[in-house]
Amino acid sequence: MTDIGRNWNEFHKTDIAEKLAFFSREGRLYDCLFSQQFDRGMLDHIFSVADRLRAATKTKAGADKVASLLSEKRAMLYFVQPSTRTFLSFLNACHILGLKTSEIRDTSTSSELKGESPEDTVRTFSSYVDMIIMRHPVPGFVEKTAWVMNRAKRPVPIVNGGSGKDQHPTQALLDVYTIHRSLAGGVDGKTIVMVGDLKRGRTVRSLSYLMKNYSDVRLIFVSPPELRMEADILDSLRRHGIPFEETQDFAAAMPRADAIYMTRIQDEHDVAGESKAVDYGRFCFRAEHLKAIKPTAVIMHPLPRRHEIEVSVDEDDRAVYWRQERNGMWVRAALIACIFGVDAKIPAAKS
Amino acid sequence: MTDIGRNWNEFHKTDIAEKLAFFSREGRLYDCLFSQQFDRGMLDHIFSVADRLRAATKTKAGADKVASLLSEKRAMLYFVQPSTRTFLSFLNACHILGLKTSEIRDTSTSSELKGESPEDTVRTFSSYVDMIIMRHPVPGFVEKTAWVMNRAKRPVPIVNGGSGKDQHPTQALLDVYTIHRSLAGGVDGKTIVMVGDLKRGRTVRSLSYLMKNYSDVRLIFVSPPELRMEADILDSLRRHGIPFEETQDFAAAMPRADAIYMTRIQDEHDVAGESKAVDYGRFCFRAEHLKAIKPTAVIMHPLPRRHEIEVSVDEDDRAVYWRQERNGMWVRAALIACIFGVDAKIPAAKS
Amino acid sequence: MTDIGRNWNEFHKTDIAEKLAFFSREGRLYDCLFSQQFDRGMLDHIFSVADRLRAATKTKAGADKVASLLSEKRAMLYFVQPSTRTFLSFLNACHILGLKTSEIRDTSTSSELKGESPEDTVRTFSSYVDMIIMRHPVPGFVEKTAWVMNRAKRPVPIVNGGSGKDQHPTQALLDVYTIHRSLAGGVDGKTIVMVGDLKRGRTVRSLSYLMKNYSDVRLIFVSPPELRMEADILDSLRRHGIPFEETQDFAAAMPRADAIYMTRIQDEHDVAGESKAVDYGRFCFRAEHLKAIKPTAVIMHPLPRRHEIEVSVDEDDRAVYWRQERNGMWVRAALIACIFGVDAKIPAAKS
């Protein structure tokens, strides 16, 4: 245990870069908490593990072999905040690797009713399993859990399935993986257009942040003036020399895009119904736009969608948002395989 | 994709017989949506698969072999409408075959709260799994899901676990299987007495409908006048030349019965508490009736029961309603095995 | 079936000692319902099975072997009363042995809404599985379920996961196992100090009761005057010649303790908020007390805790309450292995 690990409040205020070592073991990721934990090497590795998992599981024999890799492990999915999508993605990722799963999806547990502290509750869960995957509404709580567990006699790795409004590292992972996988030559050199509620969308923030791992990427932020990308991300892009533009003109950005990342208006974060005043119609992708974009472009969306993408667009081959969801399951399985160190044991696909 | 598949509203209005091909693949059932999908050949085949599953799993080695048949597959149980019984039956049917399972049993999911369409929600679920088993209160929604999925790039089979007030095909399957299995010589030539709320009972409707697949069956409908079998079913019986009688005299029907199918009064469908006016006591099976029925007869009930069958009747060997429930699990396992095409791989039982 | 099994009301009133045979089969435990079922031989055996399970599962090969022992069985966890801790402990115990699991954690099921009797509901569940593990708020209901099932054509064993305010036999098991495992020489000859709400704590009652299976045990009950251990337990101790003391002086008891069993004030059982009047601060274990207890002593707690044990005590090696939780999982796995008769098949650990 490093010295910075002695006191939670002190630890919590420490810069993320400084505390990353605390969440690693034997030279590899142990707890997955922040998008900032992923560097280029790790991204490339996780993506290649995901690719190998997909290939290996195409046959029954391969899938059964993969499901034996972690058949002796048990994972707990502790989702205090409702999230069907992320929950199912992780659950099936576990099942692919053979992990047995337990789930708590209630917002209240009986022990909390009996006055137990949240830290004790999580520590109880850890008694029974080998990994905890959790989503929690309180900012920093997932990190605190990992901190507590790392100091316990029987630590188990913690995977962040969404914490507060800020960190959702596996969503960032699946977004980058989708671009990496869908575009010839991967992410390097591409123009990525992000559209919609950039101010409050957790996914566009992390995606932008992770672009520093790639060369020659250009970002175009298309949003209503009220919902522009926040200054901290723009500053970070400037610091890393990543060119970006801000505009309200979606039509002009379309033909330049290699990837178009659409987002839903996050009106659940409204303070006083301010979303109603936004003219969001200009930030939607309609069937008529299909002819305006490159034949090689991809249209992405973290889902759920409302009206940002017309349903008939789904049938176009460039609409990859359903594949993006499935990519999430594979990249999460890859991440879990890496944390448990079985990534090298995934059988090579038969050619 | 057939031409009729282009437009949902048009497709939905098409006669079931015409659209069955749309829900089949490679000459076998793909989506299981309607009782009308089962013809005699299919019924006989599914029942023989169910019998083989039971026999094969009597030993640990056989059960482990059966659980390896679909060990690489994952099923999603999406039960928007509460149904513990059908849910558990399907879940354990999956586990018998080795499928890993995820479940959504809430009536509301977080994504619906975020404004996602029901079709998108189901499509999301399909991203993670190889089959969706669903119960939904909206008539036609399970069919629409199957229609949407059949048009998607990565279709998965849909199994109807109860849709609206009308279709619940696997319940019909288990009822016929129970008669087939419990009576010497099977269903052909038998007299089946259905008792109680025939107007609103989904099970007696489907069971009557499926009788067209058998020869020389006679049906006796015993019900209060307010709760008689509806005209559409009676018309269908006439069309197929199946003799039936309607009566209020349960006592007279008892000695003639090979199978007695008791039902609960469906007062959850009452508009204005009209069930309270019905004298249901005359449509109950009591211990004293045991001496009035054939020694070879069977007493069935789709369960849950209230007072339609006295508890002490349970100990009689002719009371098969608990076995009927267990038959449901086996016949559902058989159906899933058929959909995935592993029915031929079930090991023969050692003699 | 013994004669006493014919009528439930009569059976229920029968002395537990007389009816134990009814819940055994082939000379071993079949239903696990009462703490009174455990004699010294059984306790020693279950604990040694638990030890062997832990040892055998330390390697992947061993864990996979253990998970094959009951891979053909299916268990149902039916927890009508919320209990995350016991639920997860049992669920993971099942997974260790390879059992597939279904769960009902709702307090209401759809069938109950349809007027089904609780006995019918449980019998339905039993149709699908090979074991039911249940928690139920109604005193005697778990026993009644076992009674009903034992008379059914296809019985399945019932395991009590907490019934009413009285019986929670696997909690007693894990508490004794923790003392057995943590103290050199086991339970015999030890002084056990129980602290807090002894009147309403189910765990301290069963733990006291089970002490009759050990020699030379001494019990010290430390509690506020309002929350003293009840007379029935004290009488039973006197009958078995187990020396005990009652005191309010925790400080004097501390240095004498081999095991200190702390408990939470059970204010959920308050009739009129009477717990608020209790000065519970005197019945808490604080970091400063660590120097007052033996170097070999252990501090236990059934958890969840509130303030009875200061969090900083967790880091002391003598604080075993987290290990106690994990012991619960192992001892439950051992119990299940014994019920299914696979205890002899647990592979010996490689040295």
Query: What confidence score (pLDDT) does residue C276 get?
Result: 84
DSSP secondary structure, A246-257, as one string: EES-HHHHGGG-
**pLDDT, average across residues B301-306:** 94
Does the structure show a pLDDT above 60 at B2?
no
Question: Which positions ≥6 away from C137 have C-beta within 8 Å?
Answer: C80, C81, C164
Q: Is residue A350 part of a domain?
A: no
Query: Is A245 found in the same domain as A126?
Result: no
* Number of neighbouring beta carbons within 10 Å of residue C311: 13
Nearest to C123 among B88, B268, B322 (CB): B322
For B192, the token pair is 């089946």
**pLDDT, average across residues C24-40:** 93
With contacts defined as CB-CB under 8 Å, which chain A residues touch B74? 92, 95-96
Task: Provide the shortest C-alpha distance from residue A51 to chain C (in Å).
Answer: 25
Q: Is residue A16 part of a domain?
A: yes
Query: Tens of pLDDT along C106-155?
Result: 766 555 667 889 899 999 999 999 999 999 988 899 999 999 999 888 99
Does the structure show a pLDDT above 50 at B88?
yes
Which residue's entry shows tokens 């608020």? Answer: C276
Does the structure show a pLDDT above 90 at C290?
yes
Dihedral angle at the C-alpha atoms of B225, B228, B232, B237, nearest 10 degrees? -110
- Binned at pLDDT 50, 70 and 90, residue B108 comes out as low
CA–CA dist C35, C168 (Å, integer): 7
- Furthest C-alpha separation in chain C: 60
Judged by a CB distance cut-off of 8 A, whether residue B102 touches chain C is no
Judged by a CB distance cut-off of 8 A, whether residue B322 touches chain C is yes
Chains meeting A at 3+ CB pairs closer than 8 A?
A: B, C
Cβ contacts from B onto C, under 8 A: 79
H-helix or E-strand spanning residue C231: helix C231-239
Does the structure show a pLDDT above 90 at C167?
no
Least confident of A199-203, B107-111, C191-195: B107-111
Percent of chain B with pLDDT over 90: 79
Query: Is A187 found in the same domain as A146?
Result: no
CA–CA dist C28, B65 (Å, integer): 29
B135 is catalytic: yes
Query: What confidence score (pLDDT) does residue A246 get?
Result: 98
Query: What confidence score (pLDDT) does residue C50 get?
Result: 98
CA–CA dist B57, C183 (Å, integer): 45
- Binned at pLDDT 50, 70 and 90, residue B278 comes out as confident
**pLDDT, average across residues C47-56:** 97
What is the Cα gyration radius of chain B? 20
Query: What confidence score (pLDDT) does residue B269 get?
Result: 80
Chains meeting B at 3+ CB pairs closer than 8 A?
A: A, C
Q: In what order do the strands lie in the sheet with A100-104?
A: A100-104, A74-79, A131-136, A158-163
Query: Tens of pLDDT along A28-57?
Result: 999 999 999 999 999 999 999 999 999 999
Query: What confidence score (pLDDT) does residue B5 get?
Result: 72
Does the structure show a pLDDT above 50 at B266?
yes
What is the distance between the terminal CA atoms of chain A, rounded to a whole angstrom?
Answer: 45
Q: What residues make up the domain containing A25?
A: 3-168+327-345
Query: What confidence score (pLDDT) does residue B347 get?
Result: 84
- Binned at pLDDT 50, 70 and 90, residue B107 comes out as low
Q: Is residue C64 part of a domain?
A: yes
Query: Is B131 found in the same domain as B66?
Result: yes
Query: Is A212 found in the same domain as A109?
Result: no
Nearest Cα to Cα of residue A131 among A153, A143, A111, A146: A146
Query: Is B20 found in the same domain as B150?
Result: yes
Nearest Cα to Cα of residue C309 among A120, A124, A126, A154: A120
Which has more confidence, A84 or C179?
A: C179
Query: Tens of pLDDT along B47-85?
Result: 999 999 999 999 999 999 999 999 999 999 999 877 889
Query: Is C144 found in the same domain as C18?
Result: yes
What residue ranges in chain A does DSSP mark as E strands? 24-25, 28-29, 74-79, 100-104, 131-136, 158-163, 191-195, 218-222, 244-247, 259-262, 298-300
Query: Is B142 found in the same domain as B17?
Result: yes
Q: Is residue C349 part of a domain?
A: no
Nearest Cα to Cα of residue B208 among B183, B167, B242: B242
Question: Which positions ≥6 away from B151 have C-beta within 8 Å?
Answer: A315, B1, B5
Query: Tens of pLDDT along A253-284?
Result: 999 999 999 999 988 888 888 888 888 899 99
Which has more confidence, C115 or B129?
A: B129
Query: Is A246 found in the same domain as A286?
Result: yes
Q: What is the CATH number of the domain that holds C320?
A: 3.40.50.1370
Q: Are residues C125 and B67, on separate chains, in Cβ contact within 8 Å?
A: no
Q: Are residues A326 and B128, on separate chains, in Cβ contact within 8 Å?
A: yes
CA–CA dist A274, A269 (Å, integer): 10
Query: Tens of pLDDT along B323-340?
Result: 999 999 999 999 999 999
Query: What confidence score (pLDDT) does residue A1 get?
Result: 46
Q: Is residue A284 part of a domain?
A: yes
Percent of chain B with pLDDT over 70: 96
Query: Is A341 found in the same domain as A263?
Result: no
Least confident of A96-105, A107-116, C32-41, C307-316: A107-116
Does the structure show a pLDDT above 90 at C75?
yes
- The model carries a pTM of 0.96
DSSP secondary structure, C10-48, as one string: HHHHS-HHHHGGGGEETTEE-SB--GGG--HHHHHHHHH
With contacts defined as CB-CB under 8 Å, which chain B residues touch C113? 82
- Binned at pLDDT 50, 70 and 90, residue A4 comes out as low
Nearest Cα to Cα of residue A336 among A39, A15, A49: A49
Which residue's entry shows tokens 């660590």? Answer: C290
Contact between B21 and B31 under an 8 Å Cβ cutoff? The reply is: no
Query: Is B322 found in the same domain as B338?
Result: no
With contacts defined as CB-CB under 8 Å, which chain B residues touch A318? none
Query: What confidence score (pLDDT) does residue C1 get?
Result: 46
Does the structure show a pLDDT above 70 at B89?
yes
Residue A104 backbone dihedrals phi, psi, to 5 degrees: -120, 115
HEC profile of A42-80: HHHHHHHHHHHHHHHCCCHHHHHHHCCCCCCCEEEEEEC
Q: Is residue C347 part of a domain?
A: no
**pLDDT, average across residues A344-349:** 87
* Number of neighbouring beta carbons within 10 Å of residue C214: 19
Interface probe for A, chosen from C74, C79, C88 (most Cβ of A below 10 Å), is C88
Nearest to B116 among A305, A326, A329 (CB): A305
Does the structure show a pLDDT above 70 at B350?
no
Coil vs helix vs strand at C70: coil
Query: What confidence score (pLDDT) does residue B93 get?
Result: 98
Contact between B189 and B217 under an 8 Å Cβ cutoff? The reply is: yes
Query: Is B225 found in the same domain as B80?
Result: no
Interface probe for C, chosen from A8, A68, A114, A129 (most Cβ of C below 10 Å), is A114
Coil vs helix vs strand at A94: helix
Query: What confidence score (pLDDT) does residue B283 get?
Result: 96
Query: What confidence score (pLDDT) does residue B1 get?
Result: 46
Query: Tens of pLDDT along A277-328?
Result: 888 899 999 999 999 999 999 999 999 999 999 999 999 999 999 999 999 9
Query: What confidence score (pLDDT) does residue B111 get?
Result: 58
C135 is catalytic: yes
Query: Is B21 found in the same domain as B49?
Result: yes
Average pLDDT, chain A: 93
Which has more confidence, C108 or C197?
A: C197
Judged by a CB distance cut-off of 8 A, whether residue A275 touches chain B is no
Query: What confidence score (pLDDT) does residue A203 get?
Result: 92
ipTM: 0.94
Does the structure show a pLDDT above 80 at C346?
yes
CA count, 13 A, side-chain hemisphere, C194: 28
CA count, 13 A, side-chain hemisphere, B7: 4
Query: What confidence score (pLDDT) does residue A83 get?
Result: 85
DSSP state of C319: B
Judged by a CB distance cut-off of 8 A, whether residue C121 touches chain B is yes
For A305, the token pair is 């969608």
* Number of neighbouring beta carbons within 10 Å of residue B317: 8
Task: Provide the shortest C-alpha distance from residue B275 to chain C (in Å).
Answer: 14
Coil vs helix vs strand at A189: coil
Dihedral angle at the C-alpha atoms of C37, C38, C42, C44, nearest 10 degrees? 170
Q: Is residue A131 part of a domain?
A: yes
Q: Is residue B350 part of a domain?
A: no
Coil vs helix vs strand at B105: coil
Coil vs helix vs strand at A303: coil
Nearest Cα to Cα of residue A190 among A259, A238, A236, A239: A259
Provide the number of structural domains found in chain A.
Answer: 2
Range 60-99 of A in CB contact (< 8 A) with C: 68, 71-72, 74, 76
